[in-house]
A and B are shown apart, each in its own frame.
Chain A
Amino acid sequence: MLTLRLAFRNLLRHKSRSLLCGLSMMGAYVLFSISLGFSDGSYGSLIRMLTDTHSGHVQIHSQGYLERPSLFRNFILYPALKNQLTADPEIKAWTARVFSAALIFRENKSTIARLMAIDPEQEAQVTTIREKVQDGEYLSEAADVTNPILLGRHLQKLLQAKLGETLIFIGQGADGSIANDLFTVVGIVGKSSADAESRMIYMTLESAQEFLSLGERIHEIALRLENYSEARRQAAYLQNYLKAKELDVQPWQVVEEQFYKAMLADQQGNWITQAVIMLIVGLVVLITVLMNTFERRHEYGLLLALGTPPGFIFRSIIVEMTMLSGLSVIVGLFFSSGLNWYFSINGIAIEPPMEYGGVIFSAISSEVSLFVIFVPAVFTIGVAFLVAFFPAIKSARAVPIEAMREN
């Protein structure tokens, strides 16, 4: 109690000095928190964008498919697996996929295209495929059409294909045969040729399985969870369950490895910026503590002469700086939470949109979370504590008579 009283009154002793030091700590806390908020918010948006548009949160493949995708690395979606995925409360939705490539012909024009076969209803629960249809209709809405496809914008321009037209597909069947069939364009996906889906052709799972002679076999299952942060845990859990089935379960961090590594490298860069902020705060606190302790040398000598234990002097200096940093963090918390909340709703538009790890990024937004509040708080108070530590030890170890001679 006496330590707290002394620390508090000493803070009020040089109000402007304490205010300046407190303001710098508050500023650092706010900067750190906003920077973390934007970092978490932006990466969160990116991850959501990536997993919502394509990958889902967890994927299941045959062993080796991720490293070397092949028509022949497929597996049967057996009923027990279906039941397991459907019954798992952690899995919000799941969808099966088939991938291949084919030669596409329209009159005298031809091209090679990547095919992605989906279950239209289940896919729409895992990704935003339905919203990508710019012209025409989605696959499930063209039930009366035989072999409907969604054609990417780039391919549509290349083939000069129109809605309702029939295209010829030639490819390789999984049984070694030559696959060929007719497919009808029911929709166009992608806003511009630059969009990733503009070079894709989407078809139904049934028509792809027949075209490629796959039977009941598929290449991929994509899962959507409640939260992308649960992906690793859920993947490990499912992997354990599916171990005997020779299936490979991986979270989005592995499936989208290039993106994830770029994100981690970017985060490292952010930590360096935040370390510089903390270093500046550390220097301000150090100057304040040194000024305070040098100025009070006589007093520390007096306190020791009166019989004060050295530990008490150490504690009072540490408590004083911890109190100031704590108060600064509390005040800073209102500003940073307000700003983070505002930017989590409004975001900041990026003009022109930038590409990051294959994902188009048009705005950065912040995030309010316990991480964004507490990590900068712990760092700010921790830096104040560390910086005050050595001057506090020096003051506590002062020789009373020598310290008292300084006035």
Chain B
Amino acid sequence: MEETVIVAHKIFKAFGEGETEIQALRNVDLDIKRGDFAAIVGPSGSGKTTLLNILCGLDNVSSGEIKVSGRSLQEMSGSELAQFRREHIGLVFQAYNLIPVLTVLENIEYVMLLQHVPAAERKERVHTFLAELGLEGKENRFPAELSGGQQQRVAIARAMVSKPDIILADEPTANLDSETGGQLLEMMRKFNEELKMTFVFSTHDPQIMERAKRLITLTDGRIVSDELK
């Protein structure tokens, strides 16, 4: 039986109070299994990004319970959550979000530096990813010197190089042309199949929907369908 890495139970999330309150998530139940390649889809404002932020502990739930890798996120303090993300979760953002004052190499190895991974191992893993993502020769460039596609590859490398249990990617292809987006998705799919890494995407991109093994549809903060392909 496949191990469940994320369990979300009766999740409610509201923004604002009183008359201005907006229910972003309503009674969401979700299990993500190890090795899933799942896409959360739905129209804008349906709660995809909110759900993703809650799954990694960046945002709090109004009620309900979230367990990731067996640990309840609500019981953790801010610094415990930071440590938990560092050890278990890789994040990919729509806007790349690289650290502008660090080079490509330094951005990729950043999380490993925080994890105190030995230098030799860091170097080996970074170079493997650089080769895999076609970024060789660009190690010493700064993010501003790269194209959007290249920056997103660096962001994906940064998320995956520390071998987290789960990768959560928020609209990773939204700012890329379809060809570059397609290439990156192929890479992620490859890592998913070869390394059994778990991927959860929030997306509008049909390319991701095509390649996803599981499609979770969210409408008005509710999961309206959850289908395996």
Interface residue ranges, A against B (CB under 8 Å): 2, 5-6, 9-10, 13, 299, 302-312, 397, 399-401, 404
Contact = CB atoms under 8 A, between A and B. Distances in A.
A310 B114 CA distance: 12
B82 to A, nearest CB: 5
Nearest to A7: B101
B99 A309 contact: no
B83 interface: yes
A306 B85 contact: yes
Contact of A10 (B84, B101, B113, B114): B101
Given A305-B91, A307-B86, A310-B78, A299 B100 contact: yes
Given A2-B113, A400-B58, A401-B58, A307 B100 contact: no
Interface string B75-96: 0001100111111010101000
Contact of A302 (B59, B84, B97): B97
Given A306-B111, A404-B58, 16 more contacts: A2-B113, A5-B106, A13-B101, A304-B78, A304-B82, A305-B58, A306-B86, A306-B91, A306-B110, A307-B87, A307-B89, A307-B114, A310-B78, A312-B114, A401-B53, A401-B58
Leading 8 A-B pairs by shortest Cβ distance:
A307-B86, A9-B101, A307-B85, A401-B58, A401-B59, A302-B97, A307-B82, A400-B58
Contacts of A404: 58, 97
A278 B70 CA distance: 53
Nearest to B89: A307
B146 interface: no
Contacts of B78: 304, 310, 397, 399
B53 A309 contact: no
A71 to B, nearest CB: 80
Contacts of A6: 101-102
Contact of A308 (B91, B97, B114): B114
B55 to A, nearest CB: 12
Contacts of A308: 82, 86, 114
Contacts of B84: 307
Contacts of B110: 2, 306
Contact of A9 (B53, B91, B102): B102
Interface string B92-123: 01000101111000100011011000000000
A307 B58 contact: no
Contacts of A306: 85-86, 91, 110-111, 114, 158
A299 B107 CA distance: 13
B84 to A, nearest CB: 8
13 contacts: A2-B110, A13-B101, A303-B99, A305-B56, A305-B58, A306-B85, A306-B114, A307-B84, A307-B87, A307-B111, A309-B83, A310-B82, A404-B97
B32 to A, nearest CB: 19
Interface string B14-53: 0000000000000000000000000000000000000001
B100 A309 contact: no
Most buried by B among A2, A299, A306, A311: A306
Given A306-B85, A309-B114, A299 B99 contact: yes
Contacts of B91: 305-306
Nearest to A13: B101
Nearest to A6: B101
Nearest to A9: B101
A309 B86 CA distance: 9
Given A6-B101, A397-B78, A305 B85 contact: yes
Contacts of B58: 305, 400-401, 404
A262 B64 CA distance: 73
A277 B170 CA distance: 50
Nearest to B95: A407
B105 to A, nearest CB: 12
Nearest to A310: B79
Contacts of A5: 102, 106
Contacts of A299: 99-100
Contacts of B101: 6, 9-10, 13
Most buried by A among B59, B79, B100: B79
A60 to B, nearest CB: 66
Nearest to B56: A305
B129 to A, nearest CB: 16
B82 A309 contact: yes
Contacts of B93: 302
Contacts of A2: 110, 113
A2 B85 CA distance: 19
A400 B82 CA distance: 9
B136 to A, nearest CB: 23
A312 B87 CA distance: 16
Contacts of B53: 401
A397 B81 CA distance: 13
Contacts of A310: 78-79, 82
Contacts of B106: 5
A6 B107 CA distance: 11
A370 B89 CA distance: 53
A305 B78 CA distance: 10
B83 A307 contact: yes
Contacts of A307: 82-87, 89, 111, 114
B33 to A, nearest CB: 23
A399 B56 CA distance: 13
Nearest to B49: A401
B99 A302 contact: yes
Nearest to A312: B114
Contacts of A400: 58
Most buried by B among A9, A10, A307: A307
